[in-house]
Amino acid sequence: MVEIKVISGADAIAQAVKLCKPKVLPMYPITPSTLIPERISEFVNNGELNAEIIYVESEHSAASALFGIYATGVRSFTATASQGLAIMHEILPIISASRFPAVMAVANRALSGPLNIWNDHSDAMSERDQGWIQLYCETAQEAFDTTIMAYKIAETEKVSLPLMVCIDGFSLSHVYEPVQIEDAIKVDAFLPEYKPVVVLDPKRPVTFGPVAFPNTYFEFKEAEEKAMLEAAKVIEQVHAEFAKKFGRTYGNGLVELIEMKDAEYALITVGGTTGTAREVVTELRKKKKKVGVIRIKSMRPFPAEQLRAALKKVKTLGVIDRHASLGFGGALSNDVKSALQGQKIIVEEFVAGLGGRDISKSRLHDAFETIIKGKKGYWLK
C-alpha cells in the first residue's frame, strides 16, 4: 500500500532499505547517520524486515563485514559519515575491486579537524576515486527513491560496483519532509531478487582478493574503469525505468538542468544547496537575467558528456564546492574544468558551506553577480 509520511531524510533511506530486503546488515552508528541504523533496527526487531544486524566494533569492521557478506552472495547495507567513512577507507577499494554491488548511505559531514559534526561534502568527495558510484540527493523523497534505484544499478551484472547514496548531514538527514512510501509489491517488481554470479562455496571454490602482480593489477583497474563508464548508461536506464513505474524524475539520473535552455550564466550545485539555488534563479529570472543551475547528481561516474552538452550557450559557469581540495581549489571545480577542457567557457570556483556554514540565498546571489560581472571566484564565506 502506498503511504505518504512526513519523515526525516534518514528515515526515508531506512524505509527504502526495508523495501529492498537486505539479509545481513553490519552497523556502527556515527552522527549524523545514526538515525538510519536506529530505524532499521526497529524494523528488524518488530519483524517488519527479515534480516540480521551485526553490531560491529568500528566502521572499519562494518566495511569488512560488508565485504564478507557480499562474498557469500547476500544483499546487504550499511550507513556512515565523516570519520566513519574515513576509517572505512582501507576497505572501500577492496570492495569495489571485488566487484561487490554493496549499497551504503553517507550522511555527509565535515572531516576533522578541527572536530565538526555539521554538513559539508569532504567525507564522500575524499573517497570519490575508490571505485564507488556516488549519487547525491536533494530531498528526502529523492533519498528514498535513489536507495531503491541504487540496488538495481549496482547489481546490474555489467556494472557490479558498490554505490554510495549521499545526503546532506542534518540539513537533510534530520529534516522532516513528506515522502511517498511505495508499495512493497511494486518495489519487488522493479527490483528483482539479488542473484550473484560468483559466491564463496566449498563445492565450487573461488578466490576473492588475491595478490595481483604487475602483470594483472593494471587489468583489474581497467575493468573497474570500464564498469564505471558502463554505470553511467545504466544509471540513465534505471532512472528512466523508475520514472515510468513510479512517476518521479531527477533530471536524467546523472544531472538535472534547471532553467538552462537559454542560460548565459549558470551555477553548478550538489545536494541540498540546489533547493536554495532554485529560488535564487527564480528571483533573477524575474529581473530578466538569463541564469540557470546544473545539479550534479552523479559525482562518480562523472557526467562529463552531459555537462558539455548543457553548457553550449553559457558564457561563464560558477561551481559551488562544499569540499576544498586544499592547495588546488575545489574538487568538483577541478573535475568540471577537466571535463570542459577545450570548451569556450569561463569556469569560476566558489568554495562554500564548509563545516555546516549556511549557503544562503544572499551568498548565491553574490556568486551569480560575480560571474555575471566577470569577476574571479573565491571562498564564499
Please name which of 114, 179, 108 lies closest in space to residue 323, comparing C-alpha atoms: 108
Within 10 angstroms of residue 286's Cβ, the number of other Cβ atoms is 8
**CA 11/CA 39 separation, integer angstroms:** 7
pLDDT at position 207 over 90: no
User: What is the average per-residue pLDDT within 214-229?
Assistant: 97
Does pTM surpass 0.95?
Answer: yes
User: What is the average per-residue pLDDT within 347-371?
Assistant: 98
Scanning the structure block, which residue is given the C-alpha cell 518488530? Answer: 46
pLDDT at position 73 over 90: yes
pLDDT band at 28 (very low <50, low <70, confident <90, very high): very high
The structural domains of the chain, ordered by start, are 3-246 (3.40.50.970), 255-380 (3.40.50.920)
Q: CA-CA distances (angstroms) from residue 164 to 147, 271, 381?
A: 9, 13, 28
C-alpha cell at 201: 562455496
Q: CA-CA distances (angstroms) from residue 373 to 269, 283, 284?
A: 20, 18, 14
pLDDT band at 146 (very low <50, low <70, confident <90, very high): very high
Burial per residue of 141-176, b for 16 or more beta-carbon CB atoms within 10 angstroms, e otherwise: bbbbbbbbbbbbbbbbeebbbbbbbbbbbbbbbbbe
pLDDT at position 155 over 90: yes
pLDDT band at 170 (very low <50, low <70, confident <90, very high): very high
What pLDDT score does 169 carry?
98
Q: Residue 141: helix, strand or coil by DSSP? A: helix
What would the pLDDT profile of 103-144 be if each residue is shown by its tens digit? 999 999 999 999 999 999 999 999 999 999 999 999 999 999
Average pLDDT value over all residues in the chain: 97
**CA 111/CA 364 separation, integer angstroms:** 24
Crossing angle (nearest 10°) for helices 140-155 and 9-20: 30
pLDDT band at 329 (very low <50, low <70, confident <90, very high): confident
What would the pLDDT profile of 42-59 be if each residue is shown by its tens digit? 999 999 999 999 999 999
User: What is the average per-residue pLDDT within 185-207?
Assistant: 94
User: What is the average per-residue pLDDT within 72-100?
Assistant: 98
C-alpha cell at 212: 595481483
**Of the candidate ranges 129-138, 195-204, 309-318, 349-358, the one whose mean pLDDT is the lowest:** 195-204
